[in-house]
Amino acid sequence: MSFEDFIEFVDKSIGELLLYAEVHANKSFSNHELIFEWMSHDPTFIYGRENIVYEITDKVFVNEQEIYPCVDLVIEKPDSGVSLLKIIGKRAGYAPRPFTIGWSNRPGPFIYGIGNGIKNPLVDTQDPQFQKRLRELGLIHY
């Protein structure tokens, strides 16, 4: 996968992660600002979707034949009074390899997760209709 294609893929993945959060929360997050940090001992915050896309690309894309294959992206809402969503990234220790179907059974390395402040207690994530909706949206593939 080319560098430019991977940048587009990361941007699309951020959009899917936001949709994943909206389905779990049963509300829109379109007016929320994004902040990103890698799970590490030296946290650095990245602000704004475009900057986040480039940060993730920089740490996951090595070259056209080498992409880190397993990256968790967890979205959370740190404070209910603030229009901010935080994405936490964690790259697993696997060696880079060609772009392919990942652990999520979707194309690419990203595994979506929900953190604090997102889930709506009225949304039954175990309901088969909820799972069906996630599959129809392409957010899960099992």
pLDDT value for 142: 67
Which residues of the chain carry a pLDDT beneath 50?
none
What is this structure's pTM? 0.93
Give the Å distances, CA to CA, from 53 to 24, 37, 80, 96, 103.
23, 12, 25, 19, 21
pLDDT value for 71: 97
pLDDT value for 98: 97
Please say whether the beta carbons of 96 and 66 come within 8 A: yes
